[in-house]
């Protein structure tokens, strides 16, 4: 078993379950056209986020880390009439491209992108009493994942689904001596998540067209 078969099977699954979609394709292409890193979720993980939003009947979704809006579009498509998604992004260029992609997908009336440091924007959301969100997707810079999780809890209620991307980092989380700040951020977050009494959680290993990684899945009690 190697990366080649994981990629082939990932494509087999997306060919079966993801019908061609102009807006999603354009959002994917915008990464190259606009010089934005190719670190968006894969199509099958985008579909998984969409299903999670449906399963949790989410009417209010919060995303931390928009990039070009690829995961945003997948989740916003799951919202019912009148549903809202707020996505936080530090990079004005990413936010601008994301707004175009979201507009092209016909979702701009449901999606608000806020530009700034996620920690500051999260504090403001708490001040605004913007919660509780039904689903929160943590996918911004990795070192402060634990802090993003703590702020997310303040914006949650019973049953809120909290998902965090990139928590296995190619299996590097097993190495306690690894000094990559992204790996250390994931290790610290995973430990805090497991120890937190307010949530029940697990981690799903993710393989496929992207690097081997994992998504944490938690539900607020």
Determine contact, residues 203/167, Cβ cutoff 8 Å: yes
Question: What is the rounded CA–CA span in Å between residue 148 and residue 128?
Answer: 17
* Measured distance CA(45)–CA(137) in Å, rounded: 12
How far, in Å, CA of 166 to CA of 178, rounded?
16
Tell me if 209 contacts ligand DHB by CB under 6 A: no
Q: What's the full length of the chain, in residues?
A: 221
Residue 162 near which of ligand SAH, Mg ion, ligand DHB, none (CB within 5-8 Å, type-dependent)? none
Contact by Cβ (8 Å): 161, 179: no
Site string for Mg ion, 101-120 (x = CB under 5 A): --------------------
Q: In a 10 Å sphere around its CB, with 0-12 CB exposed, 13-18 middle and 19+ buried, how is residue 65 labelled?
A: buried
User: Exactly one of 44, 101, 160, 166 binds ligand DHB (CB under 6 A); which one?
Assistant: 166
Rg (CA), the chain: 17
Q: Which does 90 bind (CB under 5 to 8 A by kind): ligand SAH, ligand DHB, Mg ion, none?
A: ligand SAH
Q: In this chain, which stretch among 33-41, 106-114, 183-191, 200-208 interacts with ligand SAH, using CB under 6 A? A: 33-41
Our finding on whether 63 is near ligand DHB (CB under 6 A) is no
Residue closer to ligand DHB (CB basis): 130 or 212: 212
Task: By CB under 6 A, tell whether 89 contacts ligand DHB.
Answer: no
Contact set with Mg ion (CB under 5 A)? 139, 165-166
Contact set with ligand DHB (CB under 6 A)? 39, 139, 165-166
């Amino acid at each position: 078993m190697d990366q080649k078969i994981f990629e082939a099977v990932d494509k087999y699954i997306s060919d079966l379950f993801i019908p061609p979609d102009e807006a999603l394709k354009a959002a994917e292409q915008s990464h190259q056209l606009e010089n934005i890193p190719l670190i968006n979720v894969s199509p099958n993980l985008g579909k998984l986020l969409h299903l999670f939003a449906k399963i949790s009947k989410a009417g209010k979704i919060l995303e931390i880390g928009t990039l070009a809006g690829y995961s945003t579009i997948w989740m916003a498509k799951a919202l019912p009439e009148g549903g809202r998604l707020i996505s936080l992004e530090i990079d004005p260029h990413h936010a601008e491209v994301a707004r175009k992609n979201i507009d092209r997908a016909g979702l701009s009336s449901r999606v608000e992108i806020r530009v700034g440091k996620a920690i500051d924007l999260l504090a403001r959301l708490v001040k605004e009493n913007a919660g509780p969100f039904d689903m929160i997707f943590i996918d911004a810079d990795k070192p402060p994942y634990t802090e993003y999780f703590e702020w997310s809890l303040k914006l949650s209620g019973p049953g809120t689904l909290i998902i965090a991307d990139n928590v296995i980092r190619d299996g590097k989380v097993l190495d306690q001596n690894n000094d990559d700040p992204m790996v250390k951020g994931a290790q610290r977050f995973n430990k805090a998540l497991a120890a937190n009494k307010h949530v029940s959680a697990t981690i799903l290993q993710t393989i496929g067209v992207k690097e081997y990684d994992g998504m944490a899945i938690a539900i607020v009690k």
